[in-house]
Amino acid sequence: MDRRTVIRSLVVSANKLGRIAALSTGNTTPAAVWRTLSILRSEGPMRIGELAAASRVSQPGMTRLIAQLAQEELIARIADSDDARAWQVRLAAKGEAALAAWQEQLGAALEPLFDGLGAEDWRALERAADVLDRRTRAPKEAAA
Amino acid sequence: MDRRTVIRSLVVSANKLGRIAALSTGNTTPAAVWRTLSILRSEGPMRIGELAAASRVSQPGMTRLIAQLAQEELIARIADSDDARAWQVRLAAKGEAALAAWQEQLGAALEPLFDGLGAEDWRALERAADVLDRRTRAPKEAAA
DNA sequence: CTCAACTGTATACCCCAGATATATAACACG
DNA sequence: CGTGTTATATATCTGGGGTATACAGTTGAG
C-alpha cells in the first residue's frame, strides 16, 4: 500500500465510522461540534478566529456554532482583555461532560465492530490515533 | 489510552483530515460520493439498496446519488436480470479515474501533514487503515 | 390464473450545516 | 484624529441528506 492509498483508505473508513455511529446512535449533532469541543479540550481556550481555523470552518460558521454552543452552555465566551473586539472561548464543564458522553455513545456504537481484534491491531490503532491527532492540530501561523 | 478514547480520537482526527483536504483542494464533492465509489471498487457491483446500506445513507439518498453519478457517467446502471425493479450498479471507467484523481488530490493535500513520519508510524497507519477498512464493510445480513 | 401482500426503487418535500459577501466595531499608526 | 486594518457578526443562499409516501414488479395462496 503506498502512502496515498493509506491516506485515502483512512479518510474513507473513518468517514464510514462517523456515519455508522451517527446512524446507530441516532445522534444528529453535527461533527463540527465535536471537532470544536475536542479542540478546545486539547488545546485550551482560544479566539473564535483561531478556533475556526483549527476546526477548518469559515469564521462566520464558527461564530454561529459558538453562539449555539454558548446558548447550551457547552462553552463560555470570555472577553479578551487585550482586544475588545475579540472573545476567548473556553470549554465549559457542561461541554466537557457532553464530550465525554459522546465518547461513550461512540464507543458503544463502534466497539462491536472491533470485536476480537488482537493486541497488535489495537496498538496500531492507538498509534495511528496519536499520530493523526498530533498532525491535524492547527498550524501555528509562521509569520509571512 | 483506552479503546473508546482511541475510537473517538480516530473519528475526530479523520474528520479533520477530510475538512483539511476539502478546503485545501477546494473540492466540494460530498464525501458520500467517494465512499460510494470506493465501496463499488472494493466490493464490486451491487444493488442500490445494498449500496445504500454499505455507504450508510438512506435508500432515497442513494437513489439520488446514483442518478447524479450515472449522469456524470461515473457509474453504470445495469438491469438486474433476476428482478426488473432492481438495478445493479457498477463502477464505470470514468468513476475509477475520478476516484484515482481524488486519491491523488487527497494525497497531495495531506501528505505534507505527515512529513517526516518514521517507518514505524507509517506501518501503524497502514495497519490501522487495513483494520478499519475490513471492519467497516457492510454486514452480510445474517438471515433473521 | 389472479389477487393480495410484500419488496426495490423513485418522487415529493423539508431541514439545516456551512459557504460567501458584507456590515459593524475596535484597534493601530501616521 | 482620520484612515486603513482586523475581529466578529449578520444576511442570504445552496445543496446534501433525511422522512414519508407512491409506484412498479414479484411472489405465494388458493
**What is the structure's pLDDT at A59?**
96
Nearest to A14 among B11, B23, B110 (CB): B11
A29 near B CB under 8 A: no
Instruction: Provide, as residue numbers in chain B, all residues whose Cβ is less than 8 Å from the Cβ of A20.
Output: 56, 136
pLDDT of B23 reads 86
Is the minimum CB–CB distance between A133 and chain B shorter than 8 Å? yes
What the block records as the C-alpha cell of A92 is 465549559
B127-to-B99, B107, B121, B124, B139 alpha-carbon distances in Å: 22, 18, 10, 5, 21
DSSP helix/strand/coil, A36: helix
Interface test with B, best of A2, A3, A5, A7 (most B CBs within 10 A): A7
The reply to whether residue A123 touches residue B124, judged by beta carbons under 8 angstroms, is yes
Q: How far is the C-alpha of A124 from the C-alpha of A20, rounded, in Å?
A: 21
Q: In chain B, which residues have pLDDT < 50?
A: 141-144
Within 7 A of a protein CB, which nucleotides of strand C?
7-12, 16-22, 25-27
Predicted local confidence at residue B142, as pLDDT: 39
The pLDDT of residue B22 is: 87
Residues of A in contact with B120 (CB under 8 A): 127
- Count of residues making up chain B: 144
DSSP label of B113:
G
- Residue stretches of chain A with pLDDT short of 50: 141-144
Q: Is A104 on the interface with B (CB under 8 A)?
A: yes
Give the model's pLDDT for residue A68. 95
- The C-alpha R_g of chain A, in whole angstroms, comes to 17
B14 and A9 within 8 Å at the Cβ level: the answer is: no
The span from the CA of A9 to the CA of B104, in Å, is 12
Nearest C-alpha neighbor of A19 from the set B47, B30, B87: B30
A chain contacts of residue B31, beta-carbon cutoff 8 Å: 15
Q: CA of A83 vs C1' of D1, distance in Å?
A: 20
**Tell me, what's the pLDDT at B143?**
32
B38 touches chain A (CB under 8 A): yes
Describe the crossing of helices A3-25 and B119-135 by its angle, rounded to 10 degrees: 40
Residue in chain B lying closest to A129 (CA): B10
The domains found in chain A, sorted by start residue, are: 3-96+116-143 (1.10.10.10)
Cα–Cα dist A26/A39, whole Å: 24
Closest C-alpha to A108, from A15, A19, A21? A21
CA distance B99 to B33: 9
B36: exposed, middle or buried (Cβ count in 10 Å: 0-12, 13-18, 19+)? buried
Side chain identity at A143, as an amino acid letter? A
The set of cell numbers assigned to B20 is 483539511
Nucleotide with the nearest C1' to A64 CA: D9
* Cell numbers 493523526: residue: A132
> Chain B within 8 Å of A58 (Cβ-Cβ)?
no
First to last CA, chain B: 37
User: Rounded to whole angstroms, how far apart are CA atoms B94 and B37?
Assistant: 11
Q: Which long-range contacts (CB under 8 A, 24 or more apart) does B11-14 make?
A: B11/A14, B11/A17, B11/A18, B11/A21, B11/A106, B11/A110, B12/A34, B12/A35, B12/A38, B12/A133, B13/A14, B13/A129, B13/A132, B13/A133, B13/A136, B14/A10, B14/A11, B14/A13, B14/A14, B14/A15, B14/A17, B14/A18, B14/A132
Q: Is B5 on the interface with A (CB under 8 A)?
A: yes
8 Å CB contact of B4 and A35 = no
Contacts of B123 in chain A (CB under 8 A): 124
